[in-house]
Chains A and B, each alone.
Chain A
């Protein structure tokens, strides 16, 4: 049933009783390494009492073989000569634990990635596998049984970003029974979704489906909403983050403000309204949109004529409820949280960067979010499409897709993913609102992968007779009251010249600028080359960062449409809840430790630590949860006070000796 193992008496020199298990890994190892010989050589190695080989050690019968040997041969240590420890270390450690052996007395000798995969079949390759296995036997001889590190954690979640992803994540975590701190830097939650007119492919009114969720956030007893706030400092570690949040003063008491709007009318200041992408003006005291949450006015300190010294005070004069308080101070909020969800969202790549399309100097060349405001019933034109320059209804509109995307030479190399769909929606809604208008779409190819997406684009093309032109636009410029669009239709091979009334650029999606500062605050290099948040593994850990307890949701990770952002937010919330509901944070005990008898507190170690796990007072102290056991501090410690558990200098020396020892016939 099982291959016959070679049994030996324990070595007289050492009391170790080590079992060696050599895996064939099908042909992966056995095709190159003489596994039988490795098992046989190792059976003669001091301290080894049992040695065998098997086709797939990680299979159930393979694990059974290990468990049985542990019991029958009273093994004090196990070496599995197989693949990388990142693959099956946990498998064999768990198996050993089931057989009553402390899991930290099990080690993997990597004879696949480090040997069979990188060498041809030869006696030297087998000899190398033998050396690797011997070295790991030496390591196991010096190993001590260990217990995993367990620490408690805070039962609260911080969500950064109040767009749809942050809202969804906050609601899901709160619904699961945990306290949530939702931080948003602008005066209201809602994010970009609040600016949209309708959503593809169902043409739901965006605000109509968003605002109920916003209200739910405002009313939820377990969500503490901090708008106009920024996370300033994050310290600590998974399960035990301490965060410091700065809340800017709004100078309006949200509990008193009744949204009468008198203040706004008397305010002498007018500045471009960000929510309407500059298409309208707002006062210094304003509410971004009527359904804003929290439902209160905000006094924009920058735009106000002057708070210190007070120059105007018109708003306070007319406020019947006395909600305006010019002495309001900024607030610092400090909280302990167990998990953090990053949902910082996106911005559009600036039109100013598009020199070929007028560099933002042609008023009737606008980006897609600005067009959303023109389409929106709550927008500056009340839902009538009127162009910015003269307020006329545009009769010919050109939509340019991939503006700034898929352009590695000049702009962003990646596909912004959602532009094909929202451009189809834009063209379709435009045709609804201006039935005699003409809509042209320049595209490279149409990417409509999603439920009912392809049908939606077809509807724009066929039912609404939107003219899709396959090709890139070379130049956009102003001529009289027209915007000239020069392009090429690559299907007919003809030059196309359109005298348009309005041009809408489907600008590339870029990460929100705040995410870079946030990455610094979190002491993590969690950004990819384009500045989006980087996931721990693109396929298997898409919602986690490499920093434990920090999760990702929404477009901060990459361009995403609403359903995808919402799904990811719920996923990140589930991850956070899994952490918050676990009885303790469990961490590997194979970390650095300080011999307090030897440590003089010289402090050489602390700045070396990439995880900021070391603090030095009288002596150095290692935070066992932060430490990842890299050993940088051990190398730096001048007095030998720092060591790695189960990787002491003596073990390393013995391993080196074992590697250098001759292999007969090798």
Chain B
């Protein structure tokens, strides 16, 4: 699709020489649509998106970080001081370089990484890490034709990924949990049936199940389906339903718990992009 010929780039710091001052000079609502990617991590990010909100008719959260918080938001599991210490070692304090004025100090880190919608009102979302070409196309054809769906729309399917997954399911039973590198998965069979935690059942479709088709489990980058609620909890509930060890009944519970305990790094697996959506992450810092 030819996009560039139909739009004028108003502001694109990564590609064009655009400065904050240029943006400030624009009248309110000057920009038709601002596509914003990345989580809101610093005070500067926050100022920029607030400014963009003011200058733009539409704000589009573009990509998993803007949509859900993304991988950077896994840092929300730790406090700000802990993070700085881990990154820069002991004794480092954020501030301007020696002898430089205060305004040269690096931007202040926010207590948590935020999805865009927690910083400014978002009109549309193009999800994904990265957004699949098809979904980008869907957004632009809607935008350029002037036939946009109702605000709040996420440019992905409402059905879960399994719908478009080419793999086949046989016996829907979880007998073990393995990490992707531990086995060579059967090329045809459902990964979840083979013990690989695939988030396909809770994740929106729209990517043609790219990862499962290539032998890797879905990690949930398109975000939860509209009624999945808390993605990780829904998946935990499904896993707990699927797990089977020997005969049914209470006697099997200890060995079933053992199977569930085989899940290494539950938060990193079940909330890879969505830590800010975790129920416990919604309150307080860290």
Contacts and interface: CB of A to CB of B under 8 A. Distances in A.
Interface range for A: 20 to 34
Contacts of A604: 172, 201, 238, 241-242
B80 interface: no
Interface stretch (A201-209, A496-504, A506-514, A629-637): A629-637
Interface in B220-247: 224-229, 234-235, 237-238, 241-242
A641 B237 contact: no
B169 A603 contact: yes
A322 interface: no
Given A608-B241, A638-B237, A598 B227 contact: yes
A113 interface: no
A656 to B, nearest CB: 15
B160 A632 contact: no
A603 B172 contact: yes
Nearest to B241: A636
Contacts of B238: 604, 636-638
B158 interface: yes
B160 A638 contact: yes
A649 B228 CA distance: 11
A607 interface: yes
Nearest to A610: B248
B38 interface: no
A597 B237 contact: no
Given A638-B202, A639-B234, A606 B229 contact: no
A638 B192 CA distance: 13
Nearest to B227: A640
Interface string A592-615: 000101111111101110000000
Contacts of A641: 227
B225 A639 contact: yes
B159 A600 contact: yes
B228 A607 contact: no
A551 B162 CA distance: 42
Given A600-B160, A601-B162, A604-B172, A636 B225 contact: no
A600 B225 CA distance: 10
A607 B242 contact: yes
B39 to A, nearest CB: 25
Interface in B170-194: 171-173
Contacts, number: 74
B161 interface: yes
Contacts of B242: 604, 607, 636
B277 interface: no
A431 to B, nearest CB: 54
A611 to B, nearest CB: 14
Contacts of B161: 600
Nearest to B161: A600
Contacts of B169: 602-603
A288 B271 CA distance: 71
Given A607-B242, A638-B202, A600 B162 contact: yes
A649 B224 CA distance: 17
The residue in A607, A618, A640 that gathers the most chain B C-beta atoms within 10 A of its C-beta is A640
B227 A632 contact: no
A608 B229 CA distance: 21
B205 interface: yes
A639 B241 contact: no
Contact of A636 (B159, B162, B237): B237
Nearest to A608: B241
Interface in A555-610: 595, 597-604, 606-608
B172 A607 contact: yes
Interface of A: 595, 597-604, 606-608, 618, 632, 635-641, 649
21 contacts: A595-B227, A597-B159, A598-B226, A599-B159, A600-B160, A602-B200, A602-B201, A603-B162, A603-B169, A604-B172, A604-B241, A607-B171, A636-B237, A638-B202, A638-B228, A638-B238, A639-B225, A639-B227, A640-B226, A640-B227, A641-B227
